[in-house]
Structure 1
Amino acid sequence: MQIRELATGLQFPEGPIAMDDGSVLLVEIARGTLTRVRHDGLVQVVADLGGGPNGAAMGPDGAVYVCNSGGFRWHTEADGCHRPVGQAEDYSGGRIERVNLATGQAERLYDMVEGFALRGPNDIVFDAQGGFYFTDLGKTRERDMDRGGVFHGHSIGSAVHAVVRPAMTPNGIALSPDGRTLYYAETEGARLWAFDITAPGRLRKDGWPSPHGGRMLCASPGGHYQRFDSMAADALGNLCVATLLHGGITIVAPDGSTCDHVPLPDRYTTNICFGGRDMRTAYVTLSGSGRLIAIDDWPTPGLRLNFQA
C-alpha cells in the first residue's frame, strides 16, 4: 500500500467524506469547522460551526450532516501530539447540524432526544431510506462521565429516538453492505457491537447478559492497550476501525472471527473513509499530528455509502 500525505496543519481532523471530484470533506474538531481538502492539497473552510464538530456524512438532499460534540479541552504532549482531554470550559451542547455546501450555512436539526439533551454526538451513517443512525459518546469531566447511546433520526428533522441505551462511550458507527446490521465501536473497551435491523430505526435485541441487547463481536483484539474510534465497512462487510494509542486501522470480520492491523504513524488515528473510481483509496485522519493521508490500493474495496457524492 502506498501512503500519500494530502494535507498537514489541520486542527484535529475527523469525519472524512470522499467526494467524486477528488476532494475530501472533513471536520476540524479543534478549529470548529467543516473543511474541504482539494485534490491539489488546498484547504478551504466550508462552514464555521463552533463547538466540536466530529462525525459527518452526506445526506439525501446533498447537505452534510454533522455530529457536533459541543467542544473539548485540549492538551499537547511533549512529542507534539494534540489530543482532547475532556469537556470544554465553554461547552456549547451536543447537536446534529445540517450544512448547506453551497452557502456554508448550518442549521441545528436535533439537540434533544426524548426529553434529554444530546451530550457529545460523535459519528453518523445514513441508511438507504434517508434516515440516519448516530452515536452520542457523552462527555468526560474531571470526576465523572456521561453514559451515551445510539439514535435514529431523519434528515427532514421529523423525529428522533434512542435505539441503543445505555452505552459506554459509543463512537464509530457503520452499516453492513446489505443494510441489515448496525455496528458501533466502543472507545474505552475497544469493543465492537452488532445489532440486527428489523425495520428502519428498529433493532432486534438480545437478552441478559448483554448490557443493551447487542452482540459483542470482539474486545481489544490483539491484546494491545488501545481504544476504538470511528470506522468504515468494506465491500465484503469487514469493519475497518480507527484505533487510538495502538495507532492504525484494525480490520475485523463481520462475525468477529478474524482481525488484522494496519499500523500508521499517529497514536490518534481517528477515522477512515473510502473513495476513488474503484473504492480502493482509503482516506485516513491522523488527528494527533493534524494530517489527512490517502492509502492507495487498499486490499479490499470500500463500501460505497448511501448518498456518497
Structure 2
Amino acid sequence: MHRHALVVPVVVALIGSTAASAAAQPAPNTVVLQPAPDIAGVIKGGTLPELVVRGLRSADDPLWLPEVGLVFSESQGNRVVRLGDDDQVSTFVGDLNGPLGMTFDRQGRLISLQTRAGVAGPRVIWPPGREAVIADRYEGKPFGRPNDVVSDRRGGVYFSDLGPRPTPPGALSPAVYYVPPGGMPIRVADDIARPNGLMLSRDEKILYVNDTGGIHVYAFDVGPDGRLANRRVLAAYIGRDRSVAAGEPPVSNADGLTIDDAGRLYALTEAGIEVVSSNGEHLGAIPVWCITRRCQNLTFGGPDKQTLYIAGGGTLLRIRMLARGFGGRVK
C-alpha cells in the first residue's frame, strides 16, 4: 500500500470560471479547485473537482478496467497503480520501464507504452502470463518517446511517438504508428509537430490526434487496413503556454484525450479540460490543475462512467459529470 505523506495546500476558488482563470497557474505545490462552468449536457455549473491522490512521483493515463477499477501510470515509479475503494493506491503491475499511455484491447490485455531507451514501445503488461512486446522498432530504428495509445476493434494498436527534442540525426521523427494484429508497425502520420493524445471516434472511422506543439486537434479518416487519410483540423484549443516567447507560434500543450457517449472530445490543455463536439464546436473549458504542472490525461470511469478522472504531476483528481463516457470500449 502506498501512503501519501506530501502535505499540499488545497484552495477552493469560489469565483466564476473563465478561460483566463482556467489557464492561470497557481503557486507551486498548491491545488486550486475551481468550480466548473455550466456546459449543457456535459457538466453542471459550480461542480468542483475532488483531490483524490497526491504525492506520487508522477501520474498519467488513467483507465477504468472491467472488474478491476481505476488504474493509472506512475512513470517515474516504473509501475502501474490501482486506486482502491478506500482511495489508496497499490501497485497493480510493477518492474516496468517508464510506462505512460495505456489501452485495453478486446482480448482483455492491458497494453502500456514503455519509454525507457532500448525498450520503448507498446507492450502487453497484464494479465500475468500474457506479457508480450508488440513493437519496439520501426524500420530497424528504436522509438523515441511513445506517449499515448488506443486499440481498435480489429485488434490493432495506434500510438504516438513525440520523439526527443531536438531530434538527433538519424533518429525517428515524431509520428503516429499503427500496429495491425500480429503485424509490424506502420507509420500512418508524420505531419504533426508533436503528436500526443489519441482517440478513436465511436464508430472507429476517425482517429483524433492532439498536437502538443501547436493549438489544434486533428482528425484523420481510418482506412480498412488501419492507415490514415484526409488530415484536417477539427478544432483549435484556447489554452496557451505563457512561457512561449512573443512572436513565436502559440502552443496549447494539448495532451490526453477521451470521448463521451455523444462523441464529444475532452482534451487536457493549458486551459484545463477543453470540450469539443464531434463537428469541431468548442463547447467550453473546465479548469483543473495537478499541483506541480498541468494535468496530463483523463478518462471516464465508475460503474456508470459518469466520473471523469484526471491525472498529472503525481496527482489524481475526479469530477462528477452529466455526460457519460463512451461504453463501446474501455478507451
Same fold per superposition (TM over 0.5): yes
CA displacement 1:7-28 (0-9 Å, x = unmatched): 2222211111113446211111
Work out whether residues 55 and 67 of structure 1, in 8 Å CA contact, stay in contact via their aligned partners in 2.
yes
Which one of 68, 77, 82 corresponds to residue 36 of structure 1? 82
Counterpart of 1:193 in structure 2 is 218
Q: Does 1:53 align with 2:122?
A: no
Which secondary structure does the structure 2 equivalent of 1:53 belong to? coil
Q: For the Cα contact (< 8 Å) 2:100–2:112, is it kept in 1?
A: yes
Secondary structure of 2:102 counterpart: strand
More strand by share: 1
Q: Conserved in 2, the CA contact under 8 Å of 1:95 and 1:121?
A: yes
Find the partner of 1:215 among 224, 232, 238.
Answer: 232
The answer to whether the aligner puts 1:98 opposite 2:124 as a matched pair is yes
Does the Cα contact within 8 Å between 2:135 and 2:184 map onto a contact in 1? no
Corresponding letter in the other structure for 1:59? D
Q: Compute the displacement of 1:49 (Å).
A: 4.1
In the alignment, the residues of structure 1 paired with residue 53 and residue 155 of structure 2 have an alpha-carbon distance, to the nearest angstrom, of 31
> Secondary structure at 1:110's aligned position in 2?
coil
Residues 235, 282 of structure 2: 8 Å contact kept: no
The answer for unaligned runs of 5 or more in structure 1 is 71-90, 206-213
Out of 38, 59, 70, the position equivalent to 1:13 is 59
Asked whether 1:24 is paired with 2:49, we answer: no
Corresponding position of 1:251: 275
2:299 maps to what in 1?
A: 273
**Equivalent residue, structure 2, for 1:301:** 324
Runs of at least 4 residues off by over 6 Å: 142-146
Residue 245 of structure 2 corresponds to none
Cα deviation for residue 173 of structure 1 reads 0.2
1:222, distance to aligned residue in structure 2 (A): 5.6
CA deviations over 1:99-143 (Å, ceiling 9, x no partner): 12346x743221112333211111111112221211111122599
Mapped to 2, the partners of 1:239 and 1:258 lie a distance apart of 10
Who wins on radius of gyration, i.e. which is larger? 2
1:222/1:147 CA distance change after superposition, 3 Å? same
Q: Secondary structure of the equivalent of 1:228?
A: coil
Decide which moves more: 220-229 or 190-199: 220-229
* 2:265 paired with 1:229: no
- 1:60-90 Cα deviation digits (max 9, x unpaired): 22221011222xxxxxxxxxxxxxxxxxxxx
Matching of residue 69 in structure 1 with residue 118 in structure 2: no
2:143–2:172: 8 Å Cα contact kept in structure 1?
A: no
Deviates further, 161-170 or 14-23: 14-23
SS at match of 2:100: strand
- Counterpart amino acid of residue 75 in structure 2: I
For the aligned residues, what is the CA RMSD?
Answer: 2.5
Moved more, 219-228 or 161-170: 219-228
Could you tell me which residue of structure 2 aligns to residue 211 of structure 1?
Answer: none
Deviations 1:186-240 (A, max 9, x none): 10113201011121412223xxxxxxxx101223326674310011011111110
Which residue of 212, 228, 239 corresponds with 1:203? Answer: 228
Count of aligned pairs: 273
CA change 1:255–1:32 in 2 (3 A) is: same
- Paired-residue identity, %: 26
Give the aligned residue type for 1:215.
Answer: R
Shift in Å, 1:59: 1.7
C-alpha spacing 1:223/1:27, structure 2 compared with 1 (3 Å): closer
Partner residue of 2:179 out of 141, 153, 164: 153
Shift in alpha-carbon separation, 1:217–1:176, aligned structure 2, 3 A: same
Corresponding residue for 1:139? 164
Deviations 1:243-277 (A, max 9, x none): 1x43x211112222223110013342111101223
**1 CA distance for matches of 2:294 and 2:256?**
11
1:50: how far off?
Answer: 4.0
Give the conservation status (yes or no) of the 8 Å contact 2:62–2:73: yes
Counterpart-to-counterpart distance in 1, 2:298 and 2:306: 12
Q: Structure 2 CA distance, aligned partners of 1:166 and 1:224?
A: 22
Assess if the C-alpha contact under 8 Å between 1:97 and 1:107 holds in 2: yes
Q: 1:305 to 1:120 in 2, by over 3 A?
A: farther
Q: 1:2 to 1:20 in 2, by over 3 A?
A: farther
Q: For residue 151 of structure 1, give the secondary structure of its aligned residue in structure 2.
A: strand
